[in-house]
Amino acid sequence: MREPLGMPDPIASERRITDFRVRSVVMSSGRTIGDNGCRYDSFNVVVVQLSDAAGRDGWGYATIARDPVFERAAWFLGPTAGEADLAAAFETHWWPVLRGASPEVVTEPPPVASTYEYFDGAVRNALWDLWAGARNLPLWRLLATDYGDTSRPEVPSYASLLDYPLSDEQAIARARAHVASGFRLVKVKIGADDVERDVQRLLTIRRAVGDDVQISADANEKWTTTRAAAVLETLTRRGVRPSYIEDPLPRSDWAGFRELVELTDVPIVAHDYINTIDEVRRFTAEVPVSCLRTSSDSIDFALACALHARERDLPLSVGNSFGELNAHVAAAFGIARHVEFSDLAWAPLLQTPIRPVAGRLRLPVVAGAGLDPIPAVLEGLQPAG
């Protein structure tokens, strides 16, 4: 149940968390997606539902690629625990702290941690949703009020093709559809062993979208410094210089990043493969990126990255998250350059999904995060196992 916006904040007793439910389900991504080191076509999705005494629900989600084929480890790859194990983890670690508590605890340091980090993130996302709902504010407005410096129901976005496993025809169709819907920046996956493959994919997308649309590229940690500089020089010479290059080197190659900045004038955005704020701080202290990248299902991590980027006077690029949840963080911070939109199959599950409008993401003007599921659709999903 959601209160109309502007209604008085309920009394503390009505905010008490009284119940929970944990689910683990399978969702299709809508197509085969991937990069130069992985591909997959479905996710295990952990769903956490927290309920309070006033009858409100807070919803949190976490996604892990299901049965992926991959070459390099990443936080979004790997197995997930079964529903019974996740429920037991909640009972053991979270319920003693949350039962009867206000969702305001989400604004404090994490009081507990289970053995499943992604699950803990889903719990805290549900707390954020419930806390924003208790304050009768959209999450983007709550974050702006308490942490940010702006408040906007729409944020700039770009279309991410996730196209490496796709044929040219499939990639063209996706790029043209995004441009027709208003996107003016399209990101292409590159990093082939043969640079000609990358050149031809970028040329193909350029012909498909026209000269008025920007094209960026993502190498997903594929290169060494020498290789990155050579490929970027080749792309420039062949007329397909990307507007920026994302994650050209492994996350740990700080010296390589510093050298690459001297070898190319293509702006560098990084790093998707870092998912703790301590690592982010160490990375930005050593690596002169032009824009900080954050990508995870965690509001906590996205918020911490936004605060750090503002402190370092860095623009912020917000990557994929379930239901585009982290667009709420982008909407609260003026440094957010754009939010990734990959058109994955979240929208049919959600009552008020975040949608692209003329190349921008439009956030729901409802209390909370706006990611309440459609009950019949959620119940109809296959249990993960």
Residue 83's CATH number? 3.30.390.10
- The verdict on 189 and 293 lying in the same domain is yes
What band does 5 get if pLDDT is binned at 50, 70 and 90?
A: low
Residue 59 lies in a domain: yes
Residue 385 lies in a domain: no
What band does 72 get if pLDDT is binned at 50, 70 and 90?
A: confident
Tell whether the model's pLDDT for residue 10 goes beyond 70: no
Residue 76 lies in a domain: yes
- The verdict on 128 and 215 lying in the same domain is no
What band does 69 get if pLDDT is binned at 50, 70 and 90?
A: confident
- The verdict on 244 and 307 lying in the same domain is yes
- The verdict on 191 and 329 lying in the same domain is yes
Range of lowest pLDDT (109-123, 168-182, 333-347): 109-123
- The verdict on 211 and 352 lying in the same domain is yes
- The verdict on 89 and 160 lying in the same domain is no
Residue 368 lies in a domain: no
What is the average per-residue pLDDT within 369-374?
Answer: 97
Tell whether the model's pLDDT for residue 154 goes beyond 80: yes
For residue 362, the model assigns a pLDDT of: 97
For residue 2, the model assigns a pLDDT of: 52
Spatial distance between the Cα atoms of 183 and 186, rounded to a whole number of angstroms: 7
What band does 356 get if pLDDT is binned at 50, 70 and 90?
A: very high
For residue 77, the model assigns a pLDDT of: 73
Provide the residue range defining the domain that includes 64: 12-136+374-379
Residue 314 lies in a domain: yes
Q: Model pTM?
A: 0.95
- The verdict on 269 and 179 lying in the same domain is yes
- The verdict on 301 and 212 lying in the same domain is yes
- The verdict on 258 and 287 lying in the same domain is yes
DSSP string, 209-235: H-TTSEEEEE-TT---HHHHHHHHHHH
Short-list 113, 110, 139, CA closest to 2? 139
Q: What angle do CA 264, 268, 273 make, to 5 degrees?
A: 135
Residue 200 lies in a domain: yes
109 exposure class (CB count in 10 Å sphere: 0-12, 13-18, 19+): exposed
Spatial distance between the Cα atoms of 94 and 198, rounded to a whole number of angstroms: 47
What is the average per-residue pLDDT within 263-286?
Answer: 97
Mean pLDDT for all residues in the chain? 94
What is the average per-residue pLDDT within 16-40?
Answer: 95
Q: 232: which 2 tokens?
A: 């970027």
Sign of the dihedral defined by the CA atoms of residues 129, 135, 141, 143, in that order: negative
Q: How many domains in the chain?
A: 2
For residue 4, the model assigns a pLDDT of: 52
- The verdict on 177 and 227 lying in the same domain is yes
- The verdict on 159 and 119 lying in the same domain is no
- The verdict on 132 and 209 lying in the same domain is no
Residue 384 lies in a domain: no
What band does 67 get if pLDDT is binned at 50, 70 and 90?
A: confident
Q: What percent of the chain has pLDDT over 90?
A: 90
Residue 2 lies in a domain: no
